[in-house]
Amino acid sequence: WGHLGITLLEASLTFVVGSLAGVLIGFWFARKPLLAAAFDPYVKAANALPRVVLAPIFAVWFGLGIWSKVALGVTLVFFIVFFNVYQGVREVSPVLIANARMLGATRRQLLAQIYLPSATSWVFSSLHTSVGMAFVGAVVGEYLGSSRGVGYLILQAEGAFDINTVFAGILVLTAFALVLDGCVSVAERRLLK
């Protein structure tokens, strides 16, 4: 249970931090085309980078504790959410925005009444994918350097050819990923009304 608690904490922090950063920065870039054009090559280069090679760097920067696993997972979750939010906000109908402005809508009203509702389905689509990536980030981080967590237990079991423990770890991670995805689905049903 202690190992499972560590992995769940890492995956939850990864999911929350990566999703919030992806939503905020994706929304900001979509609303500022000049900024998006300036940073586009850097964002694409960062997205193309294999994340596993970052794990040793994060281990040096943040140590072998929780935060190196969270940092690795955030790099996986962030880009999924970022690109979906960016695309969702950019696809808002310009006619709808122009009509709202003509009727006197403020920037805050545009945000609350047009941009956010239009991008919500894109956001939740990315969040469903991000749940799995949060667990992948946590487990891969534990594989590469850890003394706790379900990924660590799976690695130890693989070294001892204990296939039962490997499958048990996989099933436990899958079950909790489905629970977290179910929570996202509940929030989606409530917010999309």
pLDDT tens column, 24-70? 998 889 888 888 888 988 988 888 888 888 888 888 888 888 888 88
Q: What is the pLDDT of residues 67-121, one digit of tens each?
A: 888 898 899 999 999 998 888 888 888 888 888 888 888 888 888 888 888 888 8
DSSP result, 61-120: HH-SSHHHHHHHHHHHHHHHHHHHHHHHHHTS-HHHHHHHHHTT--HHHHIIIIIHHHHH
Q: Does the CA dihedral 171-152-55-13 come out positive or negative?
A: positive
Tell me the residue type at 141: G
